[in-house]
Structure 1
Amino acid sequence: MLKKVYKILIVPYTLFLLYLMFLGMGRFQYEDHLIRVEPVFSTIEFIKNTIRWEDIIRIVLGNITMFIPFGFLGWALPALRDLKTLIFSFVSAIVIVEALHYFTRMGIFELDDVMLNTFGVYLGWLCCRWIEKRINC
């Protein structure tokens, strides 16, 4: 039952997430193409320069938690049950999304986003394995 619900909800969830990544949350088109490829340092700098904890939680934890559902992609696409295949496929896809941020100027290509999003997928994959062991699905 869980797998069927997941298969139904993952497509609209993905579309909603893409909306948020390109148009939602007050997005606007930058004047320049922006890229941040210093891993971890840009996130630390963001945290140091942000006054409100709500913004830190929303951005940093959001970049992780919003991608946890993609750790369950093996339920919809059995080839993605294997962690290596899932991570390789996801990183390929999220790099394309980040590149679209850069080329459309509707966001910033950030290596930290790729890393945080991928960590979210990994957490989702761990949760998926845990659920499968607990309820034998």
Structure 2
Amino acid sequence: MLKKFYKFIILPYAIFLLYLMFFGMGRLQYEDNIVRIKPIVSTIWFVQETISWLDIIRIVLGNVVMFIPFGFLGWIFPQLKNLKNLVITFVSAIVIVEALQYFSRLGVFDVDDVILNTFGVFLGWQIKRVLETKLSKFVVE
């Protein structure tokens, strides 16, 4: 039952997430194309420059939590059950999205986003594994 629900909800969820990444939360087009390629630096800078802990939690944690559902893609695409294949596929996709943000100037190409988003996928994959191994009789099918 959970797999069926996931198959039904993941595409609209992905579209909603893309909307947020390009247009949501009052996003405006930047005047310049911006690239942040030093890992962890932009996240540290963001934390230092942000007054509100709520904003820090919302953005940093959001970059992880919002991508957890993609860790379950192996339920739809059997070749993505393997963590290595999932991560390679996801990183390829998220780099394209980050590049589109850069070229459209509707966001920033930020390597920290790639790292945090990928960590979210990894957490999702781990959660999926636990569900499949410990609760398969009750939850997964």
Tell me how far apart the structure 1 counterparts of residues 16 and 37 of structure 2 sit (CA, whole Å).
Answer: 26
Deviations 1:43-102 (A, max 9, x none): 011101110001100110000000000000000111100000000000000000000000
- Hey, what does 1:98 align to over in structure 2? 98
Using structure 1 for the length normalisation, give the TM-score.
0.99
| Paired positions, count | 137
1:67 is matched with 67
**Distance in 2 between residues matched to 1:3 and 1:91, nearest whole Å:** 23
For each residue in 1:28-47, what CA deviation from the matched residue of structure 2 results, as whole angstroms up to 9, or x when unmatched? 10000001001001101110
- Matched residue, 2:111: 111
Superposed, 1:1-137 pairs within 5 Å as 1-136=1-136, 137=140
Structure 2: runs of 5 or more not aligned: none
Structure 1 residue ranges, 4+ long, deviating more than 2 angstroms after superposition: none
Q: CA RMSD in A?
A: 0.6
Could you give the per-residue CA deviations for residues 92-129 of structure 1, whole angstroms, max 9, x where no partner exists? Answer: 00000000000000000000000000000000000000
SS of the residue corresponding to residue 55 of structure 1 reads helix
Q: Which amino acid aligns with 2:62?
A: G
For residues 42 and 25 of structure 2, what CA distance do their matches in structure 1 show? 20
The alpha carbon displacement at 1:135 in A equals: 1.9
Measured in 1, the distance between the counterparts of 2:78 and 2:25 equals 33
Aligned equivalents of 2:84 and 2:105: distance in 1?
31
